[in-house]
Amino acid sequence: AQSVTQPDIHITVSEGASLELRCNYSYGATPYLFWYVQSPGQGLQLLLKYFSGDTLVQGIKGFEAEFKRSQSSFNLRKPSVHWSDAAEYFCAVGAWGGSYIPTFGRGTSLIVHP
């Protein structure tokens, strides 16, 4: 069965600093990987996804993620964080079951200091 580990429960950065959120996955086949963001009281919004091809994926809001098969990782990065990026971030691996069924990590809460 697939699983996702996000080792950091909370991450605190200063506004303008760079950000990297870690994600490790376990899946027996080629993984389909996603990063979602959840603002307080809201649903989950897709930031980016990886299915195949270029291992560096660009997403919305200036985020990118790099798929590293050898490390089973799909870390999310942003070069300069804005206060509005404060939110909960979820990594997910999708297993094909007629559609892509996302299994989520526990999430990383991003705190941004002014």
Partner 1 sequence: DARVTQTPRHKVTEMGQEVTMRCQPILGHNTVFWYRQTMMQGLELLAYFRNRAPLDDSGMPKDRFSAEMPDATLATLKIQPSEPRDSAVYFCASATDETTEAFFGQGTRLTVV
Please name the residues in contact with 75: beta carbons below 8 A apart, sequence gap of 6 or more: 20, 21, 22, 23, 65, 66, 68
The residue within the footprint of partner 1, chosen from 43, 53, 54, 114 (CB under 8 A), is: 43
Is position 21 an interface residue for partner 1 (rule: CB under 8 A)? no
Q: Which is nearer to partner 1, 34 or 63 (CB)?
A: 34
Q: Which long-range contacts (CB under 8 A, 24 or more apart) does 53-59 make?
A: 59/35
The residue within the footprint of partner 1, chosen from 24, 31, 87, 94 (CB under 8 A), is: 94
Q: Which is nearer to partner 1, 21 or 107 (CB)?
A: 107
- For residues 35 and 57, the answer to whether their CB atoms sit within 8 Å is no
HSE, CB side, 13 Å, CA atoms: give it for residue 18.
5
Is position 40 an interface residue for partner 1 (rule: CB under 8 A)? no
Site string for partner 1, 46-75 (x = CB under 8 A): x--x-x------------------------
Which of 64, 60, 62, 69 lies closest to 28 in space, CA to CA? 69
Q: Which residues bind partner 1 (CB under 8 A)?
A: 32, 34, 36, 41-46, 49, 51, 90, 94, 97-107
